[in-house]
Amino acid sequence: MVIRDPVDQKLYMFSKGADETIFELLKQGTVKDDNKIKMQEHVDEFAKNGLRTLVYAMRILDDPEMTESKVKSMPEIELERDLTLIGVSGMADQLQEEVHKCISDFIEADIKVWIVTGDKDSTA
């Protein structure tokens, strides 16, 4: 997500994703190793408890020539780099009503059920 702050007129790019992805996109030196390790510990603990995890980061697009139309035409790989870590979250996935019964009925009828979600192997 890219927004323009109405006060300072700067463009800010916010990103979210799996820790494996976002941590690779962080600007070197913006996060102390201790903080990154602590964030990873939180993500791991959330995942162990069955929560869906996300890591949040941002970047100020401080080029004075940067316009909304220029941002729209930029590939993601150019935007999502040199990020600053904001935080992490863990939230419970809630299945729709009767999903458990539906899956049980499929299994009882000998219908094979595969459910794959997420973008991280360890929590898919």
- Write down the pLDDT at residue 118: 62
Residue 70 CA from chain centroid, whole number? 24
Give the other-Cβ count within 10 Å of 17's Cβ: 18
Collapse the DSSP code of 16 into the 3-class scheme (helix H, G, I; strand E, B; otherwise coil) and give the result.
strand
Full set of structural domains in the chain with CATH: 2-93 (3.40.1110.10)
Q: Which residues partner with 12 through β-bridges?
A: 3, 60
Q: Each residue's pLDDT tens digit in the chain (124 positions)?
A: 888 888 988 889 999 998 888 988 988 876 666 788 888 899 999 988 888 889 999 999 877 777 778 888 888 778 888 899 999 999 887 767 787 888 889 889 998 877 666 656 655 5
- What residues contact residue 89 under an 8 Å CB cut-off, 6+ apart? 46, 53, 54, 56
Q: Whole-prediction pTM value?
A: 0.71
CB 22 within 8 A of CB 15: yes
